[in-house]
């Protein structure tokens, strides 16, 4: 039987889709080439904004209709955050679905499918108690892999549905994380990204080390210790982690980023707004100055560090003045990349009770302004890299022009260069940057 997984949402969803694909492959299912030859199509969904849900619901409706007409035996299933949020309501919204599994039910997918084969559709599983260790593994042949380290979220940002759909924070035991990274390296992976909603909170809720001893590098707090343990895995070339929060940017974390050779000079650290008033109403747990201090500590210790961020425009009560503060704040920090979102009320969150008083047109305008600022900023940042010698992890022929090769810098920028003899995929080379665009660095291997 052939399956296809279609993913919406964040890196956590990408990882979950890969884990579920690996699980099905171990069960003897094979990967379909596209929708046409798939016997099972599984959509992994996101609930973070209304638009993300609308997109997934639209796609599901189309798939169900197409299956009825052309593939009556095909099973359409849903997984992820939207399932956890909507439960059985989903079957009313999209009649004809075969099954829906929540964010804690992925390891039970084979059993759910069995129920569907036995004619029990639609089958819903939104129970707790996933077997995380059955959910490792990734797509073969990739150089880079995501590894879950912290599940759920304990922050209660007033706009955010994630704690509702992903549950309380829970840290995987450090041994399991390290064992998974070893396994990935044995399969040819060179780079891992450790995932958690507030990843630096790793180990705060549940113990993750068998004893309380200090690590060989002298790290005392759980997340820097974990970075050290992952960095020490033989053969791992690069370690990244996401998402950050200013409260996690401690002196020890900064020291780990400076000292550990595989840990890259790159961090995604959502700020959401540059206005203290809005930050307080969002319940982010920091002021603009505190965020600046955290970013400044990273920038001072790690020259050339690339910081990326998320911003929400049009949060309830966001005035022109608040917005101007955000603009100035982003400029001051000099973010390398920014994902800008229009505020979307999520029912059940505190902010959804407040008037959504910034009109959509205005949200759009603010969104466009920030995108324009960011494009100019990244051009200037990239311009300054002309002449620089950067370490690039070679990925192979470039997608646009197979005669050239591409890879990524430690700061996660795409670099394109002429292939050189004796250099293989998965090796690091030094590239001298000759020309840049907003998205790509072009150069020569030195
Ligand atoms: N509306 C708009 N954007 C949101 N995000 C989270 N919740 C909402 C919401 N209700 C954004 C935040 C977060 C990113 C993953 O999505 O910026 O960092
Ligand atoms: Fe990821 Fe949050 Fe969307 Fe879930 S709701 S897929 S955790 S961004």
Q: Report the atom number in ligand 1 closest to the C-alpha of 345.
A: 10
Which ligand gives the minimal distance to the CA of 153? 2
pLDDT value of position 203: 94
Task: Read off the pLDDT band of 352 (50, 70, 90).
Answer: very high
Q: Which residues line ligand 1 (CB under 6 A)?
A: 10, 48-49, 159-160, 270, 272, 310, 312, 341, 343-344, 346
Whether residue 292 has pLDDT greater than 80: yes
CA of 387 to the centre of ligand 1 (A): 37
In terms of domains, do 270 and 307 share one? yes
In terms of domains, do 182 and 261 share one? yes
pLDDT value of position 25: 93
Select from 103, 166, 339 the residue to mutate for testing ligand 2; criterion: most ligand atoms less than 8 Å from CB. 166
In terms of domains, do 53 and 89 share one? yes
CA of 416 to the centre of ligand 2 (A): 32
What tens digit of pLDDT does each residue of 282-291 get?
A: 999 999 999 9
Contacts of 59 by beta carbon, 8 Å cutoff, 6+ apart: 6, 43
3-state per-residue secondary structure call for the chain: CEEEEEECCCHHHHHHHHHHHHHHHHCCCEECCCCCCCCEEEEEECCCCHHHHHHHHHHHHHHHHHHHHHCCCCEEEEEEHHHHHHCCHHHHHCCCCCEEECCCCHHHHHHHHHHHHCCCCCEEECCCCCCHHHCCCCCCCCCEEEEECEECCCCCCCCCCHHHHHCCCEECCHHHHHHHHHHHHHCCCCEEEEECCCHHHCCCCCCCCCCCCCCCCCCCCHHHHHHHHHHCCCCCCEEEEECCCHHHCCHHHHHHHHHCCCECCEEECCCECCCHHHHHHHCCCCCHHHHHHHHHHHHHHCCCCEEEEEEEECCCCCCHHHHHHHHHHHHHHCCCEEEEEECCCCCCCHHHHCCCCCCHHHHHHHHHHHHHHHHHHHHHHHHCCCCCEEEEEEEEECCCCCCCEEEEECCCCEEEECCCCCCCCCCEEEEEEEEECCCEEEEEEC
Q: At which of 125, 150, 168 does a domain end?
A: 125
Whether residue 155 has pLDDT greater than 80: yes
In terms of domains, do 357 and 296 share one? yes
Whether residue 335 has pLDDT greater than 80: yes
Q: Report the atom number in ligand 1 closest to the C-alpha of 310.
A: 17
Query: Average pLDDT of the chain?
Result: 95
Which ligand gives the minimal distance to the CA of 312? 1
Whether residue 212 has pLDDT greater than 80: no
Q: Report the atom number in ligand 1 closest to the C-alpha of 342.
A: 2
Q: At which of 69, 99, 125 does a domain end?
A: 125
CA of 162 to the centre of ligand 2 (A): 6
Over pLDDT 70: what percentage of the chain?
A: 100
Q: At which of 76, 104, 125 does a domain end?
A: 125
Q: Report the atom number in ligand 2 closest to the C-alpha of 166.
A: 7
Whether residue 368 has pLDDT greater than 90: yes
Whether residue 6 has pLDDT greater than 80: yes
In terms of domains, do 368 and 434 share one? no
Whether residue 428 has pLDDT greater than 90: yes
In terms of domains, do 329 and 192 share one? yes
CA of 159 to the centre of ligand 1 (A): 7
In terms of domains, do 147 and 234 share one? yes
In terms of domains, do 23 and 159 share one? no
pLDDT value of position 134: 84
Report whether 321 contacts 366 (CB < 8 A): no
In terms of domains, do 9 and 88 share one? yes
In terms of domains, do 265 and 187 share one? yes
Q: Domain holding 431: CATH number?
A: 2.40.50.140
Residue having the nearest C-alpha atom to atom 14 of ligand 1: 310
What tens digit of pLDDT does each residue of 84-142 get?
A: 999 999 999 999 999 999 999 999 999 999 999 999 999 999 999 988 888 887 777 88
Over pLDDT 90: what percentage of the chain?
A: 92
CA dihedral (274, 276, 202, 226) in degrees, to 10, reads: 50
Residue having the nearest C-alpha atom to atom 6 of ligand 2: 46
CB-count burial class (<10 Å; 0-12, 13-18, 19+) for 391: middle
Q: Report the atom number in ligand 1 closest to the C-alpha of 243.
A: 18
Q: Domain holding 358: CATH number?
A: 3.80.30.20
Say how many domains are in the chain. Answer: 3
Residue having the nearest C-alpha atom to atom 2 of ligand 1: 343
pLDDT value of position 399: 84
Q: Report the atom number in ligand 2 closest to the C-alpha of 9.
A: 6
Q: Domain holding 43: CATH number?
A: 3.40.50.12160
pLDDT value of position 136: 82
pLDDT value of position 401: 86
CA of 141 to the centre of ligand 1 (A): 32
Whether residue 51 has pLDDT greater than 90: yes
Range of the domain at 21: 2-125
Whether residue 332 has pLDDT greater than 90: yes
In terms of domains, do 168 and 316 share one? yes
The alpha carbon dihedral of 254, 201, 289, 271 has a sign of: positive
What tens digit of pLDDT does each residue of 222-281 get?
A: 999 999 999 999 999 999 999 999 999 999 999 999 999 999 999 999 999 999 999 999
CA of 341 to the centre of ligand 1 (A): 6
Whether residue 211 has pLDDT greater than 80: no
In terms of domains, do 84 and 190 share one? no
Q: Which residues line ligand 2 (CB under 6 A)?
A: 9-10, 12-13, 46-48, 80-81, 161-162, 165-166
Task: Read off the pLDDT band of 429 (50, 70, 90).
Answer: very high
Whether residue 378 has pLDDT greater than 80: yes
């Amino acid at each position: 039987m052939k399956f296809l997984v279609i993913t919406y949402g964040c890196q956590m969803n990408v990882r979950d889709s890969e884990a579920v694909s690996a699980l099905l492959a171990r069960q003897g299912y094979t990967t379909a080439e596209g929708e046409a030859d798939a016997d099972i199509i599984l959509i992994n969904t996101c609930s973070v904004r209304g638009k993300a849900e609308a997109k997934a619901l639209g796609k599901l409706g189309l798939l169900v209709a197409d299956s009825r007409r052309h593939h009556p035996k095909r099973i359409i299933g849903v997984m992820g955050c939207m399932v956890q949020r909507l439960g059985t309501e989903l079957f009313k919204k999209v009649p004809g679905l075969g099954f829906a599994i929540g964010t804690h039910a992925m390891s039970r997918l084979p059993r759910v499918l069995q129920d569907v084969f036995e004619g029990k559709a639609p089958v819903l599983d939104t129970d707790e108690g996933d077997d995380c260790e059955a959910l490792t593994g990734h797509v073969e042949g990739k150089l880079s892999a995501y590894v879950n380290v912290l599940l759920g979220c304990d922050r209660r940002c007033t706009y955010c549905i994630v704690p509702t759909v992903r549950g309380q924070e829970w840290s995987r035991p450090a041994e399991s994380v390290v064992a998974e990274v070893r396994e990935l390296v044995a399969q040819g992976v060179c780079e891992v990204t450790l995932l958690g909603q507030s990843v630096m909170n790793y180990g705060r809720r549940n113990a993750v080390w068998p004893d309380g001893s200090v690590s060989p590098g002298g790290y005392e707090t759980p997340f820097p210790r974990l970075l050290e343990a992952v960095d020490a895995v033989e053969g791992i070339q690069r370690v990244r982690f996401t998402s950050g929060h200013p409260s996690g940017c401690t002196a020890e974390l900064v020291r780990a980023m400076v000292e550990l050779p595989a840990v890259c000079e790159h961090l995604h650290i959502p700020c959401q707004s540059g206005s203290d008033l809005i930050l307080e109403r969002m319940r982010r747990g920091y002021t603009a100055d505190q965020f600046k201090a955290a970013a400044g500590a990273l920038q001072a210790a790690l020259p050339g560090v690339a910081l990326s961020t998320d911003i929400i425009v049009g949060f309830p009560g966001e005035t022109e003045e608040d917005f101007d503060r955000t603009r100035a704040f982003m400029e001051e920090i000099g973010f390398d990349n920014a994902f800008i979102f229009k505020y979307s009320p999520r029912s059940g969150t505190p902010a959804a009770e407040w008037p959504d008083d910034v009109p959509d047109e205005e949200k759009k305008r603010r969104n466009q302004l920030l995108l324009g600022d960011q494009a100019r900023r990244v051009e200037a940042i990239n311009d300054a890299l002309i002449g620089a010698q950067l370490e690039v992890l070679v990925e192979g022929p470039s997608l646009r022009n197979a005669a050239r090769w591409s890879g990524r810098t430690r700061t996660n920028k795409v670099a394109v260069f002429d292939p050189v003899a004796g250099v293989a995929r998965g090796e690091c080379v030094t590239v001298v940057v000759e020309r840049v665009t907003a998205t790509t660095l072009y150069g020569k291997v030195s």
